[in-house]
Amino acid sequence: MGAIITLSILAILVLYLGLFKANKSLLPVSLAGLLGSGVLLLLDWNKAAEPLYSGMVLFDRYAIAFSVLCILITVLVLMLSKDYFDRISTNVAEYFALIIFSLTGAVLVTSFHNMAMLFIGIEIMSVALYILAGIRKKDFGSNEAALKYFLMGAFSTGFLLFGITLLYGASGSFDLAEIRQFVVDNPTGIPAMFYVGVLLLIVGMAFKVGAAPFHFWTPDVYDGAPILITIFMSTVVKAAAFAGFLRLFLYSFEPLQDFWVPVILIITIITLFVGNITALVQHSFKRMLAYSSISHAGYLLFGIVAIGSTSSGSVLLYATAYSLATVIAFGSLILVKRTTGSDDYESFNGLAKKNPRLALIITISMLSLAGIPLTAGFVGKFILFAGVLADYQVLLVVLAVINAAIAIYYYFRVIVAMYFKPTEREVVAYPINYQVVFVLAAILTLLIGVYPGLIISLI
Amino acid sequence: MDNLLILLLFPLVGALVLAFVKQSGPAKRLALLFSVIAFGLTIPFWSQFNPGAGMQFEQQFAWIPALGIDFHIGIDGISLPLVLLTNVLVPLIVLSSFSAEHKGGFYALVLAMQTGLLLVFTALDAFTFYVGWEVALIPIYFICALWGGEDRIRVNIKFFIYTFFGSLLMLIAIIYLYVQTPSGDFALASFYNLSLDNATQRWIFWAFFIAFAIKMPLFPFHTWQPDTYTTAPTAGTMLLAGIMLKMGIYGLIRWLIPVVPEGFAAYGWLAVLLGTIGVVYASLIAFRQNDFKRLIAYSSIAHVGLIAAAVFVWNVQSLQGAMIQMVNHGISVVGLFMLVDIISRRLGTRDMGKMGGIAKVAPALAIYFLIIVMGAIGLPITNGFVGEFLMLIGIYQYSIWYAAFGGLTIILGAVYMLRAYQKIMLGPLNEQTATFKALEWHETVVLCVVSGLIIIIGVYPQPLLNISEAAVTDLVQQIGSLTR
């Protein structure tokens, strides 16, 4: 609770600092505020969670773990943002403020206990992002990204609202616990309206996480937005949206599994294939990562397909692994693009000779995304596969395995470009803030890969 | 010294040290030192090993308790020969690449792979086994792709994806088995104690079998192998053919057949058939090769086909034959690829048509070459004969026809190997071969050790056979032989 207040005040404070042109203090203040909110969240770790604000939010361990993940990744993103926004515009404070506002929305989405709060959280998270996606005012790609995201986002939020309304109509409440009570008390007498509401919620949430066939906004928005915003979108927003998606279904709709699991199963299979096959044919590294993020959404959906006591731990682990690797992947693209000006794989040619440490860290990130053992990405996939196989969905895992093999091809293209395509190029400038973030992310990836007990046992 | 974990981690420590060594001179010597010390550390395990006592030197640490995963390692009669093979071959492999003046990174990858290989051979927990399996794959990919020959990028991506797909299938089977265990863990013992229905055993058989068949490789999953072996650098090919393919055969004995005996009873005949087909098929293709390295690659498929057939026949003689032939094949293939390296580096080509008469200018090489070729063919007094003989006795008990076709490997092997020897070493000299440089010290050491082992094991194989006999007998009693 203190975290939400802190984050909101922090964002307003940052806006005021911008007003007074105190640009040098923006980053330290933001980081301090974020770390403070993280600490406030962790203080609640051992307390018995009670719904707050008339049952609107519930900061149980699930919410705290995912919120801390979002805050941690935002800290990494902001550390990368030094000198970044200065190149786009002189009004830098707006970026920080919008990112922190979006993060506030994300915390609400991970901790909601009332459907209205889910909607509010998603809207806060998204509206800030609509602006951030289009923040390069003179760039066509950025404008297209913002408009596409806004129009499709508004449309899908409509579905979300419609679904929430139908659920309210059927069960008489917005509260998660009361809806669960309604479902449990009426095993046979649930009106059709309720089921339709669940389906519409699936549509709305699937859009937010970028699952097929509601994924069409993802490549253009990720590609058009400035890379740092793309990092934020593809990590924090995806993690928070999945946390909200899982929370909703885990708390309220678990008894109705037989109804909605087949729907999500089909969405998962389509998502995996669409994401992987389209990523295969990309020439642009940025677009490849955008499409592959769709496939990672597919893997994360496994946690919801095999809903049960292990879902939250496995989704948390995979979201952490994927976020860390994505920060490195997109972050390295920022550095490489500064010297070559292009998003393509060719920008990475010969990187291993000139920047061997950077190339090694990018390799670790690609191996983690591909799911090679000893990295966090592998353990994430492993646990998700174990959860799904425990439900005997063997076909799904076989399809996932085929997709993982396909994914090797495009993740290894980067490694091949870096190590096996020697090209004359300049040394890429590797500033200290990037070094800190990348090394930290790489060490965490390997650490979690070897000792995942740190994360699994949390929730 | 009986701490298995130290034996496993020692090469990895060496790899971490070597990663920072830039000049090739110190890198070479340091790598040799580490690998020889690793070999030295293995000797106490052999001397203290008690063949009849089952699993020894076990160590178990909780790794991911939430999933029932332990880091569990141990050695028994099946794994000790392979651990010995690995630690004997790696110093030879390091020596073989001395001419290429590699920097520390190359040797770091070789030693890192050694740890992965040892992990596969000693793992008693399925997750540990899988991690070792994949960890061995990454260094070899980089070795082959960074220091390989032409077209190496495409060939190695194909190799990686093909092999990785197989291992992912194995992963599904492993996780499925874990879900079925009553204690919810990945231990080998729990997998052995499972009683699954026939339908489940069959698909689990296929999942594991395809993964191991791709690794060995077994016909028809062999298409990645000739290209990969040919474009890889010498050390890479030695690692692949000498040790890595044994991972597949070991997997059959340890993880496939005892876990799904019903699936084995249903489909084992198919594996014997594929192995035997592979023997003849690969030998015929080998005969048509002009590229010496490619010829040996195909001969490797032929030999491994026979070993796989012997494993699936699953009686004491055939399994003993397979066990010792794994060691023999590893040694002889390292010798063969060393010869390829020596000749191709001096002449700038691997085309046998351009060679001839080298025996006149390099008589010592001719002698080593002959011994190694005889070992590869399986002439009595060489180690190859011991393995082939035992395997054929075993296969004969299954079916005389398979034994006859399998025995063709000896005859066909003689054909293409002696043809290669004649083309390369005998006949008239030409301008290129007339200026054949003398052997360097490290090449002589490798050839000498390999030839020595070929003859010693050929004359006195009993110490090696003793290691695995009790374990093999136990396994055959546990799971009945395949009957026709």
Closest-CA residue of A relative to B135 is A373
pLDDT > 90 in chain A, percent: 68
Residue B227 sits in the same domain as residue B293: no
In a domain, B315, yes or no: yes
Q: Is A227 in the same domain as A286? A: no
| In the predicted structure, residue A328 carries a pLDDT above the cut 70 | yes
Do B175 and B118 have their domain in common? Answer: yes
Please say whether the beta carbons of A203 and A214 come within 8 A.
yes
| pLDDT band per the 50, 70, 90 thresholds, residue A262 | very high
State how far residue B161 is from chain A, nearest Cα, in angstroms: 6
Q: Tell me if chain A has a CB within 8 Å of the CB of B134.
A: yes
What value does the mean pLDDT of chain B take? 91
The answer on pLDDT for B241 being more than 80 is yes
Same domain membership, residue B292 and residue B255 = no
Which stretches of B65-139 are assigned E, i.e. beta strand?
69-75
B70, with CB counted inside 10 A (0-12, 13-18, 19+), is: buried
Q: What local confidence, expressed as pLDDT, does residue A444 receive?
A: 95
Residue B320 sits in the same domain as residue B216: no
Using a CB–CB cutoff of 8 Å, tell me whether A42 touches chain B. no
B131–A367 C-beta distance less than 8 A? no
Residues forming beta bridges with residue A52, ordered by sequence position: A57
- Residues in chain A within 8 Å Cβ distance of B145: 416, 419-420
Which residues in chain A are closer than 8 Å to B131, comparing Cβ atoms?
Answer: 373-374
Are A315 and A392 contained in the same domain?
yes
CB contact under 8 A, B145 and A419: yes
Q: Is residue A201 part of a domain?
A: no
Q: Residue A44 burial (CB < 10 Å; 0-12/13-18/19+)? A: middle
Q: Which amino acid is at B28?
A: K
At B484, is the pLDDT very low, low, confident or very high (cuts 50, 70, 90)? Answer: low
Contact yes or no for B153 and A402 at CB 8 A: no
Q: 3-class SS at A149? A: helix
Residue A90 has pLDDT above 80, yes or no: no
C-alpha span between A113 and A49 (Å, rounded): 12
Binned at pLDDT 50, 70 and 90, residue A270 comes out as very high
**Residue B137 DSSP class:** H
> Helix, strand, coil shares of chain B as percentages rounded to 5?
75, 5, 20
The residues with which B75 forms a beta bridge, in sequence order, are B56
Asked if residue B309 and residue B242 are part of one domain, the reply reads no
Confirm or reject contact between A255 and chain B (CB < 8 A). Answer: no
Going by C-beta distance under 8 Å and a sequence separation of 6 or more, which residues neighbour residue A150?
A130
Q: Is pLDDT above 70 for B93?
A: yes
Is position A188 within any domain?
Answer: no
Q: Does B61 touch chain A (CB under 8 A)?
A: no
The helix-helix angle for A432-450 and A311-340 (nearest 10°) equals 150
Report if residue A112 sits inside a domain.
Answer: yes
pLDDT of residue B430: 81
> Are the C-beta atoms of B296 and B338 separated by less than 8 Å?
no
Q: Which residue of A has its CA nearest to B176?
A: A389
**Residue of chain B nearest A403, judged by CA positions:** B165
Q: Can you give the length of chain B in residues?
A: 484
Instruction: Find out whether B424 and B351 touch, Cβ atoms under 8 Å.
Output: no
CB of B337 closer than 8 Å to CB of B238? yes
- Say if the Cβ atoms of B172 and A401 lie within 8 Å: yes
Q: How far apart are CA B351 and CA B293, in angstroms?
A: 9
Q: Which residues of B touch A383 (CB under 8 A)?
A: 67
A318 and A218 share one domain = no
Q: Residue A384: which pLDDT band, with cuts at 50, 70 and 90? A: very high
CB distance from B159 to chain A under 8 Å? no
Q: Please, what sign has the CA dihedral across residues A151, A156, A160, A162?
A: positive
| Partners of residue A112 on adjacent β-strands | A57
**SS3 assignment, position B55:** coil
Cα(A101)–Cα(B84) distance, rounded to whole angstroms? 61
B474 touches chain A (CB under 8 A): no
Q: Do A12 and A108 belong to one domain?
A: yes
Radius of gyration of chain B, Cα coordinates, nearest whole angstrom: 21
- Is it the case that residue B43 has pLDDT exceeding 90? yes
Give yes or no: residues B255 and B293 share one domain.
no
- Cβ atoms of residues A188 and A199 within 8 Å: no
The pLDDT tens digits of the residues spanning B394-444 come to: 999 988 988 998 888 889 999 999 999 998 888 888 877 777 888 889 999
Q: Are residues A237 and A319 in the same domain?
A: no
The answer to whether A453 faces chain B, any CB pair under 8 Å, is yes
Does B265 map to a domain? no
> Is residue B273 domain-resident?
no
Domain count, chain B: 2
Q: What pLDDT score does B483 carry?
A: 65
B158 within some domain: yes
Question: How close does chain A come to B61, measured CA to CA in Å?
Answer: 12
A372 touches chain B (CB under 8 A): yes
Largest CA distance in chain B: 71
Chain A residues within an 8 Å CB radius of B104: none
Q: What is the pLDDT of residue B194?
A: 86
Q: Does A53 touch chain B (CB under 8 A)?
A: no
What is the average pLDDT across B58-65? 89
Whether A140 and A17 map to the same domain: the answer is: yes
pLDDT for the residue A437: 95
A419 vs B contacts (CB less than 8 Å): 142, 145-146
Residue A162 falls within a domain, yes or no? no
pLDDT-based confidence at residue B481 (cuts at 50, 70, 90): confident
Among candidates B109, B80, B73, B75, which has minimal Cα distance to B93? B109
Same domain, B383 and B442: yes
Cα gap B303→A386, rounded to integer Å: 37
Whether A433 and A284 share a structural domain: yes
- How far is it between the farthest Cα atoms of chain A? 71
Please indicate, yes or no, whether residues A270 and A386 belong to a single structural domain of this protein: yes
Confidence of residue B298 (pLDDT cuts 50, 70, 90): very high
Are B164 and A373 inside 8 Å of each other by CB?
Answer: no
Residue B271 placed within a domain: no
Nearest Cα residue to A319 out of A389, A368, A269, A249: A368
Could you list the residue range(s) of the whole structural domain that residue B20 is in?
Answer: 1-259
Q: B182 with B323, same domain?
A: no
Q: Is B199 on the interface with A (CB under 8 A)?
A: no
Q: How confident is the model over B458-471, as a mean pLDDT?
A: 92
Distances (CA, A) of B413 to A275, B279, B327, B378: 48, 10, 18, 8
Q: Which residues in chain B are contacts of A313 at CB distance < 8 A?
A: 66
Query: Has residue B332 been placed in a domain?
Result: yes
Which of A381-385, B140-144, B222-226, B349-353 is least confident?
B349-353
Same domain, B199 and B98: yes
The answer on A407 and A316 residing in a single domain is: yes
Which of B152, B157, B168 comes nearest A404 by C-beta?
Answer: B168
Digit-coded pLDDT (tens) for A118-165: 999 999 999 999 999 998 888 899 999 999 999 999 999 999 999 999
Of all residues in chain B, the percent with pLDDT exceeding 90 is 64
The Cα of A374 is separated from the nearest Cα of chain B by a number of Å equal to 7
Does residue A161 sit within a domain? no
In a domain, A22, yes or no: yes
The tokens describing A401, both together, are: 């395995």
* Residue B356: both structure tokens together: 């001839």
Q: Is residue A440 part of a domain?
A: yes
Q: If you average pLDDT over residues A425-430, what whole number do you get? A: 85
Is the same domain home to B233 and B322? no
* Own/partner long-range contacts of B432-439 (Cβ < 8 Å, ≥24 apart): B432/B347, B432/B348, B432/B349, B432/B354, B432/B355, B433/B347, B433/B355, B433/B356, B433/B357, B433/B358, B433/B361, B434/B357, B434/B361, B436/B346, B436/B347, B436/B358, B436/B361, B436/B362, B437/B346, B438/B362, B439/B342, B439/B362, B439/B364, B439/B365
Cβ of A408 within 8 Å of Cβ of B176? The answer is no
A86 inside domain: yes
Mean local confidence (pLDDT), B367-394:
92
Specify the length of chain A in residues. 459
Residue B304 has pLDDT above 70, yes or no: yes
Same domain, B340 and B378: yes
CA distance A355 to A419: 11
Same domain? For A233 and A279 the reply is: no
User: Which residues form the domain of A24?
Assistant: 1-148+213-243
Angstrom CA distances, A337 to A326, A385, A429, B186, B265, stand at 16, 36, 11, 45, 58
C-alpha to C-alpha distances, B6 to B1, B41, B84, nearest whole angstrom: 9, 9, 15
**B200 pLDDT more than 70:** yes
Q: What's residue A443's pLDDT?
A: 96
B347 in a domain, yes or no? yes
* For range A48-56, the mean pLDDT: 85
In a domain, B102, yes or no: yes
Whether residues B238 and B295 share a domain: the answer is no
Is there a contact between A386 and B131 if contact means CB atoms under 8 Å apart? no
Specify whether A402 is located in the same domain as A365. Answer: yes
Percent of chain B with pLDDT over 70: 100
State the pLDDT at residue A78.
93
Best residue in B20, B64, B129, B204 for a mutation probing chain A (most A CBs within 10 Å): B64
Choosing among B67, B138, B186, B231, which should be mutated to test the A contact, i.e. which has the most A CBs within 10 A?
B67
CB atoms within 10 A of CB B1: 12
Residues A10 and A88 in one domain: yes
**pTM of the predicted model as reported, rounded to 2 decimal places:** 0.91
Instruction: Inform me whether the C-beta atom of residue A398 falls under 8 Å from chain B C-beta atoms.
Output: yes
Number of structural domains (chain A) is 2
